[in-house]
Amino acid sequence: MRILITGAAGFLGSHLCDRLLADRHAVIGMDNFITGSPDNLAHLMGNPDFAFYRHDVSNYIFIPGRVDAVLHFASPASPNPASPFSFSNLPIPTMKAGALGTHNCLGVCHARGARFLLASTSEIYGDPLEHPQKETYWGHTDPVGPRSMYDEAKRFAEALTMAYHRFHGVDTRIVRIFNTYGARMRLDDGRVVPNFLQQALRGEPLTVYGDGSQTRSFCYVDDLVEGIVRLLESDYHEPVNIGNPVETTIREFAETINRIVGNQAGIVFKSEHRLGDDPQRRQPDIGRAQSILKWEPKVSLEEGLARTIPYFKQKMGLA
Amino acid sequence: MRILITGAAGFLGSHLCDRLLADRHAVIGMDNFITGSPDNLAHLMGNPDFAFYRHDVSNYIFIPGRVDAVLHFASPASPNPASPFSFSNLPIPTMKAGALGTHNCLGVCHARGARFLLASTSEIYGDPLEHPQKETYWGHTDPVGPRSMYDEAKRFAEALTMAYHRFHGVDTRIVRIFNTYGARMRLDDGRVVPNFLQQALRGEPLTVYGDGSQTRSFCYVDDLVEGIVRLLESDYHEPVNIGNPVETTIREFAETINRIVGNQAGIVFKSEHRLGDDPQRRQPDIGRAQSILKWEPKVSLEEGLARTIPYFKQKMGLA
């Protein structure tokens, strides 16, 4: 297939480029570099099966030649308002990528008869009232709250995807991505994995906000990419959660990182600075992915962190 | 002020044109006539304070001259899938009006320093788990459900409005409109008021789906317009419910219409054909409008229906 990936220079987009090229597809990358980095694609320049367009997906997309699938991964995605790369500091680009970008991608698919895969998110569940979250759960988001630029953009993108599927017969997929980590995460977007890893590699205490009892579920990027490829190759149109159901408290997570890195500096607890409705718990129910895609994560947190650390060391000048 | 009203040829938009012209404003109407009708504006043609653009708000808006406020009322809004004018049969135009249309309107306001008022809806509360609905209730909608093209588009539009307010400092208002009735409703969009009125005026029994115990709250259009004008003139940026809190069952409502019209044919009950997640109850808490706008509805259901019936008689050729 000849596959367009928006957000190709981002963390997940660049891993998808690598995987789909390895699977013998031709890949067209697209990115505007608002949050993505050319460094993530540098190794693909010169690859005859890879092309790249520097383009903002919220503007009309024209790709010469065949397009068999579009994977829409372009969006700011960090929830930390302390980072200039967070969706809360990029509200208009975030909403344009979610609405206009999804609209443009679906337009390409409708015109070319191409398959569409939307990168949605566990954020559409908001601050969930059900645990773990099944795909049938409607979610709990504040339409005018501090995370609404991201949550409502992704909910809109899902609804638009279903509208194109039901009304125009476009062959669509929706993946709801839970927390993922691995090489090529931005070091400076304020998420807990890069924050902890950098502190640990510097030999500093890890900063935990609140008492550390809030939980997250972390999926290693190779597992996530495998799930996305299986979904793309399936014929399933309803949303599918892809993420790691192993729930860990932030405190346990910090301890694991310190152990693997060999950091003796421990943890410091700071008073909570939640972003408005930052969820206390988030955990995927992956029953649908298990039954339909025969997928489940394979990489343990220890193994995944061990594979991720060399990237951080290199970026920090420690390698 | 010089005020742009999108959806000007619709039921609510055309009443707003009349009111704002009566208040000595200059009004620019805009409509693409997908669900609006030129008949609703025919009486304004030739008025030197009124201009009209036939234009789809999801395309870039250029208005020569000053613009002091934009009221974004363009959208299909009927929930009845049996009507070709419902949002479920116009999913892509509905989502374009909500996302691209809101984006274009906010762009005009940002560029011109104009005030923006978004016509949002009680539909953002979905199938609510709280009664009555306060503005602080986050709602209960299915992002991929049969009403998602409307619910998620309006939730997105609210979030985008708040993003432009918070990030760009645009002077915004959000009104959440509950069920409204009056002259210039479409006769053929499948809503309960025109359906009942036409059956009653023809001397036919009124068709009630289910047992008629589902409730609605009906606001007369003049009351609604008064609330919107007060919100526009306020300096309040959070969403405000405007609607009539008097809850009535569909059965009582049918009986009231038969009594006022003098229809002896009664009611027939048919097995329910709910549109997916059609809500069983919907009722505004208007405490915010009462305290901030000093607004509450004045027109009783009997009085409002009596004022509405002549329009239906005329359209049905009975006058």
* Local confidence band at B279 (pLDDT 50, 70, 90 cut-offs): confident
The catalytically annotated residue of B150, B164, B181, B220 is B150
Q: How confident is the model at residue B278 (pLDDT cuts 50, 70, 90)?
A: low
**Ranges of each domain in chain A:** 2-185+220-244+283-298
Residues of B in contact with A56 (CB under 8 A): none
Tens of pLDDT, residue by residue over B26-81, are 999 999 999 999 999 999 999 999 999 999 999 999 999 999 999 999 999 999 88
Contact residues on chain B for A156, CB-CB shorter than 8 A: 95, 98-99, 152-153, 155-156
The structure tokens 């008022």 sit at: B117
Q: Please report residues of B whose CB lies closer than 8 A to that of A141.
A: 138
Q: Does the distance separating the beta carbons of A143 and B124 come in below 8 Å?
A: yes
Do A242 and A227 contact (CB within 8 A), yes or no?
yes
Per-residue b or e along A262-294, where b marks 16 or more CB atoms closer than 10 Å to that residue's CB: ebeeebeeeeeeebebbbebbbbbbebbeeebe
Query: Which residues of A are marked as active site?
Result: 150
In this complex, the residue of A138, A144, A238 whose CB is nearest that of residue B158 is A144
Q: Are B35 and B186 in contact (CB under 8 A)?
A: yes
Collapsed DSSP state (helix, strand, coil) of residue A186:
coil
Q: Do A159 and B144 touch (CB under 8 A)?
A: yes
Strand, coil or helix: A309: helix
The CATH class of A2-185+220-244+283-298 is alpha beta
Roughly what angle, to the nearest 10 degrees, separates helices B221-233 and B11-22? 60
pLDDT at residue B276 greater than cutoff 90: no
Q: Is B150 left (phi over 0), alpha (psi -120 to 50) or beta?
A: alpha
What is the Cα–Cα distance from A251 to B29, expressed in whole angstroms? Answer: 58
Q: Would you give the DSSP letter of residue B134?
A: P
Q: Which residue do the tokens 């025919």 mark?
A: B42
Q: How far apart are CA A150 and CA B45, in angstroms?
A: 43
Beta bridge partners of A72: A6, A118
pLDDT digits (tens, 9 = 90+) for A44-78: 999 999 999 999 999 999 999 999 999 999 999 99
The residue among B109 and B81 whose pLDDT is bigger is B109
Claim: this prediction has a pTM higher than 0.90? yes
- In tens, the pLDDT along A170-182 reads 999 999 999 999 9
Q: What is the pLDDT of residue B274?
A: 56
Angle B301-315/B250-261 helices, nearest 10 degrees? 60
The answer to whether B263 and B257 have CB atoms below 8 angstroms apart is yes
Q: Are B217 and B246 in contact (CB under 8 A)?
A: yes
- Nearest Cα neighbor of B28 from B11, B50, B58 is B50
Cβ-based contacts under 8 A for chains A and B = 108
Question: Which of B138, B163, B174 faces A149 most closely, judged by CB atoms?
Answer: B163
Contact assessment for residue B223 and residue B285, using Cβ atoms and an 8 Å cutoff:
no
With beta carbons under 8 A apart, name residues in chain A contacting B160. 95, 99, 149
* Helical (H) or strand (E) element with B256: helix B250-261
Residue with tokens 């044919």: B265
The closest CB to that of A99, out of B126, B156, B174, belongs to B156
Whether the predicted pLDDT of B273 surpasses 80: no
Residue among B126, B149, B162 minimizing CB distance to A144: B162
Instruction: Report the C-alpha gap between A204 and A182 in whole angstroms.
Output: 21
Quote the CA–CA distance of A81 and A275 in Å, as a whole number: 7
Q: CA-CA distances (angstroms) from residue B228 to A20, B158, B184, B285, B286?
A: 53, 16, 18, 16, 13
Segments in chain A below pLDDT 70 = 273-278
Query: Which tokens is B289 given?
Result: 């409008």
CB atoms within 10 A of CB A255: 17
pLDDT digits (tens, 9 = 90+) for B183-203: 999 999 888 999 999 999 999
C-alpha A8/C-alpha A120 separation (Å) is 15
Nearest to B152 among A103, A148, A159 (CB): A159
**Domain B2-182+219-245+281-298: assigned CATH number:** 3.40.50.720
pLDDT-wise least confident of A20-29, A142-151, B124-133, B272-281 = B272-281
A162 touches B at CB < 8 Å = yes
- For residue B147, which of B196, B90, B96, B214 has the smallest C-alpha distance? B90
How far, in Å, are A114, A172, B144 from residue A74 at the CA level? Answer: 18, 17, 20
Q: In this complex, do B144 and A238 lie within 8 Å of one another by their Cβ atoms?
A: yes
Nearest CA distance, B103 vs chain A (angstrom): 9
Question: Is some CB atom of chain A closer than 8 A to the CB atom of B296?
Answer: no
Judge whether A125 is closer than 8 Å to chain B, CB to CB. no
Chain B stretch 61-120, residues whose beta carbon is closer than 8 A to a beta carbon of chain A: 91-92, 95-96, 98-100, 103
Distance, CA of A312 to chain centre: 18
SS3 content of chain B, % helix, strand, coil (to 5): 40, 20, 40
Interface with chain B: mutation pick from A106, A156, A173, highest number of B CBs within 10 Å: A156
Q: Closest approach of chain B CAs to the CA of A59, in angstroms?
A: 12
